[in-house]
Amino acid sequence: MNVADGQQALAVVLGLLIFHGFIGGLDVVWNHEHLARLPRQGWARTEELLHAGRELIFALLFIGLGWFEWHGVAVAIIACLLLAEFGVTTTDTLLEDETRRLPHSERMLHVILLINFGAIVALLLPLLATWSAQPTSVTFVSHGWQSWALLVIGIVSFAWFLRDMISWRLLRRQPQTQQPALLRPAPEFNQSRPMLKRFRRSS
């Protein structure tokens, strides 16, 4: 990938990250906070921990890609963040199916986020391959308004990470109550999930 193509691809990636931050924020405020009220539900403490992990990952991605280029072995840091996000989202999806019935608005936003994240990864992988061939360094860069927008989104994401971590710690002190019947998933979703059950008990 030449320099011009790399800059164009990165500009698209940054735009998709800004879009991801907006849609993800809408999902958190409307679905998690307003509809499900997850930070105040004893049964949602494991989900709160997963959400905090995702918010930290994206805070690092927003600021890390908005203001820096990662060359040589430093590319591994971005790759690890992408892999961590995949693991968190997969676990969170299975947990949500086991513990609560998602509203249509949340499922719709999750589909949009999944497609958008796939596009980010698809565009970012060739760029990371190009960066990995360069001498190892972390270079400060600025992409104008996109960098500033990602800085703001990254700060908000990190603030929400702290908020959900505090919520998780408070919920750990409460009994893990059962959610109302209206929010429970269909019975078939609760069959034989031993790994998720162990994870929920440990959190």
Q: Could you tell me whether strands 68-71 and 137-140 are parallel, antiparallel, or unpaired per DSSP bridges?
A: antiparallel
Its pTM stands at 0.85
For residues 80 and 102, the model is more confident at: 80
Residue 183 has pLDDT above 70, yes or no: no
Q: In which band, very low, low, confident or very high, does the pLDDT at 106 lie, cut at 50, 70 and 90?
A: very high
Domain count, the chain: 1
Helices marked H in 133-144 — which ranges? none
Residue 200 has pLDDT above 70, yes or no: no
Q: In which band, very low, low, confident or very high, does the pLDDT at 100 lie, cut at 50, 70 and 90?
A: confident
Residue 6 has pLDDT above 60, yes or no: yes
**Structural domain of 98:** 3-202
Question: How does DSSP assign 114-167, residue by residue?
Answer: HHHHHHHHHHHHHHHHHHHTSPSEEEE---THHHHHHHHHHHHHHHHHHHHHHH
Residue 199 has pLDDT above 60, yes or no: no
